[in-house]
Amino acid sequence: MHDRTALTELRIDRFIRERLEPAVYRAHHPLAVSAWEAPGEPVPFEVADAAEYVPFGVGRRWGRPWGTTWFHVEGAVPSEWWQASGELPEGTRAELVIDLGFTAGQSGFQAEALVWDRSGSPLKGVSPFNQAVPSAVDAAGRVDVRVEAASNPDVGSLFTFEPTHLGDRATAGTDPIYVLRTVEIGLRDVIVAELLADALALRGLAAQLDPTSARRAELLEGLDRMIDTVDPDDVAATAAAARAVLLPLLERPAHASAHTLHAVGHAHIDSAWLWPVRETARKVSRTFANVLALMNEDPDVVFASSSAQQFAWVKEYYPALWARLVERVREGRFVPVGGMWVESDTNMVGGEAMARQLLEGKSFFLEEFGIETPEVWLPDSFGYSGALPQIIRASGSKWFLTQKISWNETNRMPHHTFLWEGIDGTRLFTHFPPVDKYNSDVSAEDLAHAQRNFADKGRTNVSLLPYGYGDGGGGPTREMAATIARTGSLEGSPIVEHSTPARFFETAEREYADPEVWAGELYLEFHRGTYTSQLRTKQGNRRSEHLLREAELWAATASVRAGVAYPAATLKRLWQLTLLQQFHDILPGSSIAWVHRDAERNYAAIATELTDIIDESLRVLAGSGDHTLRANAAPHARGAVPALALGSAPAEAPVAPVRVGDDLVLDNGVVRAVIDPRGLIVSLVEVGSGREVVPPGSTAGLFQLHRDTPTQWDAWDIDEHYRRHVIDLVDAESVAIEGDAVVITRRFGDSRLVQRITLFEGSRTLRLSIDVDWHERQKLLKLSVPVDVHTDRAQSEIQFGHIVRPTHTNTSWDAARFETVAHRWVRVAEPDFGVAVTNDSTYGHDITRHARTGGGTVSIVRLSVIRGALFPDPQQDQGEHHLEVGIVVGAQTQDAVTEGYRANLPERVVTGAGVGEVAPLVRVEDASVVIEAVKLAEDGSGDVIVRLYESLGHRAATRVVPGFAASGVIETDLLEREIPAAALVAAGSDGAEIALRPFQLATLRFIRS
């Protein structure tokens, strides 16, 4: 037979494009439009409904950047559409169709609208690929609706990464940016729409099959015959006959070995990104309205949505929508998933904050719906901490889902379904959807990719397909649902079936009883710059986490000891705001300027409120008198003041620098530092052992400036080629003694850096206090600390423990890990000597090994201090910043842990106290066991909750002793529900005996007498 395949394909594609798609609507009828532009921020429906509207013509420009225009749309189906029976033609229905002036960009990244009925109930959202609102036309054919149109600018959905002025209201301009293109009633031909769905499904499938396959030839021949059946001048009249031609092709069942995809409607909605938080609440309303409208049309559609915060917005701002949502949740079709307050970053979020993400998220879903979310759902976060499996299990959840690791630049993960083992040995059933995206449009290409890509063939044959427009919201469409209806069993295609996340995971666990194991972190070989971008946001998060710890500790102590009211509601609100800002495009620094300026204001307000709680609690505990107390919120003693207590102790005493020749020396008998005339540390010695930290020929405390021009994703990425361009900042404007500090001033480019070096009596930590006035762009500032130790690994603090990473590049996995994340400290060491580097502000590090002069190797620890990316915020990090860094000489792991907390929990001075000390509310007898949180129980009972963990990576058995009358103690999960004892060995009125495995996390509930 002659091969006419290429011509047939061209014919099919043109026929679909030029004949079927335009014929979906038989007729169009314009509607009357009037408009009112909200003067500032978005307003409630009631305000907009009462406003004065003026006539507005289709074709006019509307919408300043980030503005809201309300349209009043009125009209009716024209009389000529009605049949004598009073019905519309058989197989048709009337729909409101709106085109706000959509561009070729992505859904969710440009103009959107929510359509309201006149009673104030949301009907449906309108977006670029979802423009019809069937419910806006009533049974009599009338339309009378308000359209809340958001003129959000497209900040960069095509991702060319060019600097933009649109990310800040102050620079975005005021001229209208859209043209109202269409507002009409369309007469939809349902049969033509079904024919179009048939044709698209079969044409898409044919494109994915082997060119030599009989099935592909059969599909193309059938589609060719379908075209012959259709009258191009009267598609509607011949559509049914054309469908009959295709029916046998659609009825051929899938192969018995076909991969099965569990299709779950989804709309990953970034809680902020290229739009502000306030716009996200509206995106959620539009998406949820879309989903609920689709569910009314298609009874099989299931939708999964994460982030309790987003549900909370709907409950607060959209009560009518909330009521409809609740009903679908009860049916099991609208499925809350994930159990977190937001889809947070997991690299930089602190341990207790990670626990609170799950506490707040799961509690919300339990309280509102009675639903225990069994999975954590993080499709888009930028890598996953090795502490997560334990934290997730401790919340009562058992499954984990992401797909982000498919973005790896270098290495491909060997599994899609596996057991993920965390740093404490906890294992978690985990799935990566092999479709490699969380917003599939259910195209044949996506389905075929999932089937081909699935890495665990032969062991299991199911995967999850999250489908629907995402990032900026939108969710599934009726076209996507139509494809699923045709691929439930279709020869040549994977089997696609509507499902829920729980049903998928249960099926996968049954099929794959003994999965492979991946141990340690899930490091994303991409987006490494997110550990550093937007320094103020990162500092705000770090400070808020520690202030919340302090506020809860002292408020709980004041409540138990003095009977004052515990500020539970305020603390909950501030926790939730902090958790919101840990979203995976806020804390990582990858959002527009508006988002980060909001975050900075929020962090300042959080600090003010928490400081007030701390001060009031300490004043109650201290009483009135003439004592001076020091409050130590850290989990380790500080001088004479016990952990978590107040005591009388002298302030830390700094040692005075002395000049020795041309150098300046700081020496406290424990550590001796020598600073040369350039302001660089040329010697740092542990006095007792004589061990030198600084390798021969090296200097510590060296700032290095790199070119920082990522290949793509500016604020997100640090690319390996940054290392090829470096300037060592060795020239100093001044090096001087000021009081008890050596102060070095440097200028470079348009920036200024002031460094104060101090050393305190009895301390083994050399402190570097850094002020930088940063005005560089596309530059990266690193702080280098070379350490004369020979090791092939480094320890980095993460949540509830630390991780050990190689410093060599033996494998491609090692080489790809050239920028890593750590919390308060990192440490490199030989068996008998180590050095830790602590920080109070940043998270990005690179730790490498190099040849040593005279033989062997040395380690170089570098902190990423600050960046100047241009997209999406061209003003990123410009201005003044302050950081604290410590170099801990001769540090054991215990010293690193202790100093990390000390640097981030500075002691507070309470003057005019009436007592000489305030004993800790709870204490632990082993310093390796860290008390991470002390708070009162969420249920208002007054019970004391103590969260603790083993911090050094070895087994620990110890006692936890309450400083108050307790009638008993139980072990709980993160939600403070009793669980079978895993750490608790014995309990009595005098405390609890616990036994912890390495890095084990435990929560104890002390029941108040």
Catalytic residues: 380
| Residue 853 burial class via C-beta count within 10 angstroms: exposed 0-12, middle 13-18, buried 19 and up | exposed
Q: How far is CA 543 from CA 605, 764, 885, in A?
A: 12, 24, 15
Task: Supply φ then ψ for residue 887, to 5 degrees.
Answer: -110, 110
Q: Report the 3 state secondary structure along 358-399.
A: HHHHHHHHHHHHCCCCCEEECCCCCCECCCHHHHHHHCCCCE
Question: How many other C-beta atoms lie within 10 A of the C-beta of residue 41?
Answer: 10
CA–CA gap between residue 592 and residue 272 (Å, rounded): 9
Q: Contact, 163 vs 716, CB < 8 A?
A: no
Report the DSSP pairing between strands 112-117 and 908-913: unpaired
The structure tokens 């989903």 sit at: 291
| The length of the chain, given as a count of residues | 1009
Q: How far is CA 263 from CA 381, 463, 501, in A?
A: 21, 9, 9
Q: Which residues contact 551 (CB under 8 A, 6 or more apart)?
A: 567, 571, 574, 610, 613, 614, 617
Q: How far is CA 277 from CA 194, 471, 585, 616, 725, in A?
A: 39, 13, 11, 32, 37
Report the DSSP pairing between strands 417-421 and 517-519: parallel
Q: Which among 867, 164, 161 is positioned nearest to 533, based on CA atoms?
A: 867
Query: Per-residue DSSP letters for 413-430?
Result: -S-SEEEEE-TTS-EEEE
Q: What is the dihedral of CA 195, 197, 198, 204, to 10 degrees?
A: 140
Which amino acid would we find at residue 286?
A: R
Cα radius of gyration rounded to whole Å, the chain: 31
Q: Which residues in 868-976 belong to E strands, given as ranges?
A: 879-889, 908-913, 917-918, 922-924, 929-936, 944-950, 956-962, 966-972
Q: Contact, 311 vs 576, CB < 8 A?
A: no
Q: Contact, 741 vs 902, CB < 8 A?
A: no
Q: Contact, 390 vs 1002, CB < 8 A?
A: no
Tokens of 644: 């978590």
Q: What is the dihedral of CA 580, 583, 585, 589, to 10 degrees?
A: 70
Q: In what order do the strands lie in the sheet with 627-632?
A: 908-913, 627-632, 645-647, 917-918
| Residue 479 burial class via C-beta count within 10 angstroms: exposed 0-12, middle 13-18, buried 19 and up | middle
Tokens of 474: 């939108």
Q: Contact, 443 vs 494, CB < 8 A?
A: no
Q: How far is CA 822 from CA 352, 536, 794, 977, in A?
A: 15, 17, 11, 31
Strand partners, 1002: 948
Which amino acid would we find at residue 786?
A: P
Tokens of 92: 């048709």
Q: Contact, 410 vs 370, CB < 8 A?
A: no
Q: Which among 376, 373, 389 is positioned nearest to 428, based on CA atoms?
A: 389
Task: Supply φ then ψ for residue 246, to 5 degrees.
Answer: -85, -20
